[in-house]
Amino acid sequence: MEAEKINQLYFSDVNQPIRYDRRKFLKQLGKGIIVIFSLSELSLLQGWSQPTNARNEEIDFNAYLRVKEDGRVDCYTGKIEMGQGIITSLAQALAEELEVSIDMVDMVMGDTKLCPYDAGTWGSLTTRFADPVIRAAAAEAREILIEIASEKLAEPIGNLEAVNGSVFVKGNASKKIDYAALTKGKKIVRSLTKKPEIKKAKDFKIVGKSVISTDALAKVTGRAKYSADIKLYGMVHASVVRPRIFGSKKIAVDASALKNFNGAQLIEDGDLVAVIHSESEVAAKAAQSIKITWEAPESKANTETIFKYFEDTITQSTVFEEGGDLEVGKQNSEKIVQADYHDGYKAHAAIETHCATCYFENDKLTIWASTQTPFGTQKELADTFKMPLEDVHVKQIFLGGGFGGKIYNLQAVEAAKIAKISGKPVQLVWTRREEFMYDRFRPAALLKIRSGVDSFGKLNLWEFDIYCAGTRGTKLFYNAPNNLTRFFNKNDVHPFGTGAWRAPGNNTTTFARESHIDATAHAIGQDPLEFRLKNLKDENMIATLKLAADTFGYNTPKKEGHGYGIALGEDAGTLVAIISEVRVDKSTGEVHPVKIVCAQDMGQVVNPHGATVQTEGGVTMGLGYALYEEIEFDGGMVETRTFSNYPFTTFSKTPKITCVFMDKMNAAPQGGGEPAIICVGGSIANAVFDACGARVNRMPITPKRVLAAMPL
Amino acid sequence: MKQTIGFKLNGKKVTVAINGDESLLTVLREYLDNTGTKYSCGLGQCGACTVILNNQTSQSCITYVDAFENAEIITIEGLANNNELHPIQEAFVAHDALQCGFCTPGMIMNSYGLLLKNPNPSREEIISEMEVNLCRCGSYNNIVDAIETASEKMFKKL
């Protein structure tokens, strides 16, 4: 998919799995019991999948499992592991239904040759859509094993049960046969033909229990491999020569100084200019010796003027939601509150930069790439080199953080081009400086809101204009009968690449909405908690907010200079309520987070510990965008190029964080990797106002901005 | 012109041919295939490349031959004793003090250096010493818990 199309997807709510073309798969599978799961016309949304009339070799599926002849289980999914913990939670769901220990499950992830097609790991989709698929497949495999055991043990199926990798005769523990013996010499392939019996929450042994990450051992010993840890025979390191200004076109190249670097070789392909060498530091120094004349695009906006630029440039809008009559809303309102909100560009700043290691052999390309979309990378590479898709093999590898930034694969294309031209295996590791320009940043955004409220504190009017942040999570959950939400966007309005950043757009829109809800409450002298409870329409959101308030102790008196702030939001099917306590130093404007409570209604919690780690991680990362992170620029000239001028949350800035979940063990699981982060900005902004009276409408909420907004 | 230098890596003497201007990080990862130590910023601003050099923590991306020739270096690969994890590694696993795992080797090595000089640090001392190490996934609180656990276990043994 093209970047624009992908972005459209990421910045909207995703409420169903995305289906793709059928692929032939079965012939290459080895022996064992294989269950594939078909996604047919009647989607997972309606329960479980239905039989398709597809021919055997052509089946839609996005995960499958294989019980091997040694009794171990391989689970194949095109999803990738980047720290969000699905390598553990998916194995947990599989182990639960198949009745095996989680140690018996091997996850094979994101390998384009071994795994079925997957659109990519983003949007907190895995637990919502891959988890039910895997559970159903595992339940089916368990039923097949019981059928085979029934023959072998000459017992009716009803007398048998599967426990811990064996099938037992009920009431006779000595009469049993293990999965390895049942699978030996067999090749059984099944796609789901009926809705299998999935366990009820009360029968769970593994799901709902906290499990330590199955990849932790590899990660604490340094054995976990990332794309830059692959070393190939005869491999060279590539270093790309970059312009100072994004979008510059190459005019002339002077590589005369390259002769000073023994063994360095120049690679040129259009605007891509690189040096390769068997040693990375020599390649980097040699690349610095190359002088390129660039033609740079003219600057149209900078860090400060970009918001006005959006408003002046983007005139086209689409209506996302509307109801009632805005005029009636205005007439019936005692107070009208109007404000603009701003959010700057943010980097993903994953600790691992974009990397790729690759080689061509017999016109086939093999690549390890830090990518959230292995199949998207495969397609992009196949298109680049006009190769058949199956001749590009993207291998399974860990990612050192993604957060949406590794959905895009420029580094993979660059590495492969250099490998193709040089005829050598190539490793390309972007430097931090490159990362701070070719990362597709979270877009800056402008948000204009007008609200109206009557003398009883009921919202009557809600007008929300969103520039560049998308509509994900903006469906109104407050009861404002007269409302209009519009989305303004235009291609090429940003001076550099932008893209999906953990819960795309939703951090920005939630900050604006929740700040404005607070301002509206204060405009009629109501407590923000009371005001929200009065105006929310969804019972689940009310319950989540109450859980947060109780856990936080919202009625506890505040210390001098401290403030409490609430924000609510919805992302990836999960409801979020965050309450933050901050201390503001009124003389410097510095904001110190003291305590944060995050309550979520995320349906069934598969791995409570994993969900807590994700939620706490989201909140911790969120403090960065709320308080510190901003890319400074003038047109395509990015001025923020190192960690030292892009500060984010560190050890000392992390407060005590408490995560609580609504008890919904019988509900379907919802998103967990992204939701919590969306409410951090709004809750901090509201807490800052509560602490010192400064309403800061622009993120990050820097000391300077706090001081400027402080009442005299 | 290459020069051959030596140092002790995880208890074993190694010799390696270098140009002379490489960082220790490059020597470890590229020349000696110890890829557990990670590159992230190249400027000593994130701690992902932290190793122990003569019993002190050192950011290997900005450490050069004058400092590491003939030194004793410990990397993440040298902490476990055969298959027995070091108490810090054990505590990181027990607290699940990691997500993507990319900053983890640097975190563990900085913790190791901290506990070498201060076997029983307070929570504040842990935070202050670890402050240079960045984790984008947001596992800080679990990492502090893990270091406290490791310290308790190691301190009792002393």
Residues of B in contact with A435 (CB under 8 A): none
Q: How does pLDDT run across A509-525, given as a tens digit for each residue?
A: 999 999 999 999 999 99
Q: Are A649 and B108 an interchain contact pair (Cβ–Cβ within 8 Å)?
A: no
Per the rule left: phi > 0, alpha: psi between -120 and 50, beta: everything else, A110 is left
Q: Are B128 and A84 an interchain contact pair (Cβ–Cβ within 8 Å)?
A: no
Stretch A206-218: mean pLDDT: 86
**Of A225, A233, A351, which to mutate for an interface test with B (greatest number of B Cβ within 10 Å)?**
A351
Q: Residue A27: pLDDT above 60?
A: no
H helices of A363-409, in order, are 374-385
Of A609, A614, A642, the CB nearest to B43: A642
pLDDT the model gives residue A659:
97
At A190, phi and psi to the nearest 5? -130, 140
Q: Are A351 and B85 an interchain contact pair (Cβ–Cβ within 8 Å)?
A: no
Q: Are A226 and B38 an interchain contact pair (Cβ–Cβ within 8 Å)?
A: yes
Q: Are A351 and B141 an interchain contact pair (Cβ–Cβ within 8 Å)?
A: no
CA distance A522 to A534: 14
Min Cα distance A540 → chain B (Å) is 28
How many residue contacts between A and B have a Cβ separation below 8 Å? 172
**Of B26, B49, B102, which to mutate for an interface test with A (greatest number of A Cβ within 10 Å)?**
B102
Q: Residue A285: pLDDT above 90?
A: yes
Which has more pLDDT, A480 or A43? A480
pTM as predicted: 0.92
CA distance A102 to A432: 38
Contact with chain B for residue A430, Cβ under 8 A: no
Q: Are B99 and A282 an interchain contact pair (Cβ–Cβ within 8 Å)?
A: no
pLDDT the model gives residue A368:
98
Of A231, A349, A431, the CB nearest to B33: A231
Q: How does pLDDT run across A60-76, given as a tens digit for each residue?
A: 455 678 888 888 999 98
Residues of B in contact with A221 (CB under 8 A): 36, 76-77, 79-80, 85, 89
Residues of A in contact with B42 (CB under 8 A): 431-432
B49 and B67 inside one domain: yes
Q: What is the ipTM of this complex?
A: 0.97
Residues of B in contact with A643 (CB under 8 A): 41, 43, 45-46, 134
Min Cα distance B54 → chain A (Å) is 21
B73 and B9 inside one domain: yes
Q: Are A216 and B98 an interchain contact pair (Cβ–Cβ within 8 Å)?
A: yes
- Name the residue among B52, B45, B55 with its Cα closest to residue B28: B52
Q: How does pLDDT run across A629-642, given as a tens digit for each residue?
A: 999 999 999 999 99
Q: Give domain limits for chain A.
A: 3-205, 227-296+354-429, 306-345+441-709
pLDDT the model gives residue A450:
98
Q: Are A216 and B42 an interchain contact pair (Cβ–Cβ within 8 Å)?
A: no
Min Cα distance A650 → chain B (Å) is 6
Contact with chain B for residue A651, Cβ under 8 A: yes
Q: Are B131 and A609 an interchain contact pair (Cβ–Cβ within 8 Å)?
A: no
pLDDT grade, residue A308 (50/70/90)? very high
H helices of chain B, in order, are 24-26, 65-68, 87-94, 104-117, 123-130, 140-157
CATH of residue B21's domain is 3.10.20.30
CA distance A445 to A469: 6
Other C-beta atoms lying within 10 Å of the C-beta of residue B41: 24
Q: How does pLDDT run across B74-85, given as a tens digit for each residue?
A: 999 999 988 899
Q: Are A351 and B136 an interchain contact pair (Cβ–Cβ within 8 Å)?
A: yes
Q: Residue A17: pLDDT above 50?
A: no
A27-41: b or e for each residue (b if 16 or more CB lie within 10 Å)? eebeebbbbbbbbbe
Of B23, B30, B98, the CB nearest to A219: B98
Please report, for residues A172, A587, A687, A703, the alpha-carbon distance to residue A707 in angstroms, rounded to integers and kept in the order given.
75, 8, 15, 6
pLDDT the model gives residue A57:
35
Of A225, A613, A648, the CB nearest to B142: A613
Full residue range of the structural domain in which residue B73 is found? 3-78
Structural tokens at position A413 = 């294309």
Lowest mean pLDDT across A29-33, A173-177, A599-603:
A29-33
Of A403, A610, A642, the CB nearest to B45: A642
SS3 A237: strand
Contact with chain B for residue A286, Cβ under 8 A: no
Under 8 Å between Cβ of A201 and A666? yes
- Name the residue among B152, B141, B145, B113 with its Cα closest to residue B129: B113
Stretch B62-75: mean pLDDT: 98
Taken as a whole, chain A contains a residue count of 712
Q: How does pLDDT run across A541-551, given as a tens digit for each residue?
A: 999 999 999 99
Of A280, A398, A620, the CB nearest to B101: A398
B13 and B70 inside one domain: yes
Strand segments, DSSP code E, in A241-391 are 249-254, 265-269, 272-277, 291-295, 317-323, 335-343, 355-361, 364-369
Q: Are B40 and A429 an interchain contact pair (Cβ–Cβ within 8 Å)?
A: no
Domain termination site, one of B56, B78, B100: B78
pLDDT grade, residue A193 (50/70/90)? low
pLDDT the model gives residue A12:
67
Q: How does pLDDT run across A227-277, given as a tens digit for each residue?
A: 999 999 999 999 999 999 999 999 999 999 999 999 999 999 999 999 999
pLDDT the model gives residue A335:
97
- Name the residue among A464, A450, A519, A460 with its Cα closest to residue A331: A460
Lowest mean pLDDT across A94-108, A151-165, A194-208, A353-367:
A194-208
**Which of 3.30.365.10, 3.40.640.10, 3.30.200.20, 3.40.50.300 is the CATH number of A3-205?**
3.30.365.10
- Name the residue among A213, A268, A271 with its Cα closest to residue A245: A271
Domain termination site, one of B46, B78, B110: B78
The neighbouring-strand residues paired with A361 are A364
- Name the residue among B130, B132, B133, B154 with its Cα closest to residue B144: B130
B63 and B116 inside one domain: no
B31 and B74 inside one domain: yes
Angle at B59 between CA B57 and CA B61, to 5 degrees: 155
Angle at A104 between CA A135 and CA A370, to 5 degrees: 75
Contact with chain B for residue A677, Cβ under 8 A: no
CA distance B79 to A459: 60
Min Cα distance A74 → chain B (Å) is 22
B60 and B97 inside one domain: no
Q: Residue A615: pLDDT above 80?
A: yes
Q: Are B30 and A280 an interchain contact pair (Cβ–Cβ within 8 Å)?
A: yes
Q: Residue A222: pLDDT above 90?
A: yes
**Of A109, A651, A674, A680, which to mutate for an interface test with B (greatest number of B Cβ within 10 Å)?**
A651
Contact with chain B for residue A226, Cβ under 8 A: yes
Structural tokens at position B21 = 């201007």
Percent of residues, chain A, with pLDDT higher than 70: 91
B10 and B58 inside one domain: yes
Mean pLDDT computed over every residue of chain A:
90
CATH of residue B151's domain is 1.10.150.120
Q: Are A222 and B139 an interchain contact pair (Cβ–Cβ within 8 Å)?
A: no
A70-84, A93-107, A294-308 — which one is most confidently predicted on average? A294-308
Contact with chain B for residue A618, Cβ under 8 A: yes
CA distance A500 to A405: 7
Residues of A in contact with B111 (CB under 8 A): none
pLDDT the model gives residue A47:
35
Q: Residue A24: pLDDT above 60?
A: no
CATH topology assigned to domain A306-345+441-709: Aldehyde Oxidoreductase; domain 4 (3.30.365)
Residues of B in contact with A216 (CB under 8 A): 92-93, 96, 98, 101
CA distance A529 to A518: 9
Q: How does pLDDT run across A388-436, given as a tens digit for each residue?
A: 999 999 999 999 999 999 999 999 999 999 999 999 999 999 999 999 9
Residues of B in contact with A403 (CB under 8 A): 136
CA distance B33 to A190: 44
Q: How does pLDDT run across A581-603, given as a tens digit for each residue?
A: 999 999 999 999 999 999 999 99
State the total domains in chain B: 2
Please report, for residues A242, A357, A429, B40, B100, the alpha-carbon distance to residue A434 in angstroms, rounded to integers and kept in the order given.
8, 17, 10, 12, 21
Q: Are B138 and A617 an interchain contact pair (Cβ–Cβ within 8 Å)?
A: yes
pLDDT grade, residue A173 (50/70/90)? confident
Q: Are B131 and A398 an interchain contact pair (Cβ–Cβ within 8 Å)?
A: no
| End-to-end Cα separation, chain B, in angstroms | 47
Domain termination site, one of B59, B78, B97: B78
pLDDT the model gives residue A46:
34
CATH topology assigned to domain A227-296+354-429: Aldehyde Oxidoreductase; domain 4 (3.30.365)
**Of B34, B100, B108, B129, which to mutate for an interface test with A (greatest number of A Cβ within 10 Å)?**
B100
B60 and B113 inside one domain: no
Stretch B27-54: mean pLDDT: 98
Q: Residue A447: pLDDT above 50?
A: yes
Min Cα distance B150 → chain A (Å) is 14
pLDDT grade, residue B67 (50/70/90)? very high
Q: Residue A374: pLDDT above 50?
A: yes
pLDDT the model gives residue A16:
45
B20 and B41 inside one domain: yes
Structural tokens at position A230 = 């692959």
Angle at A541 between CA A540 and CA A543, to 5 degrees: 65
Stretch A147-151: mean pLDDT: 92
B18 and B69 inside one domain: yes
Structural tokens at position A511 = 């900050």
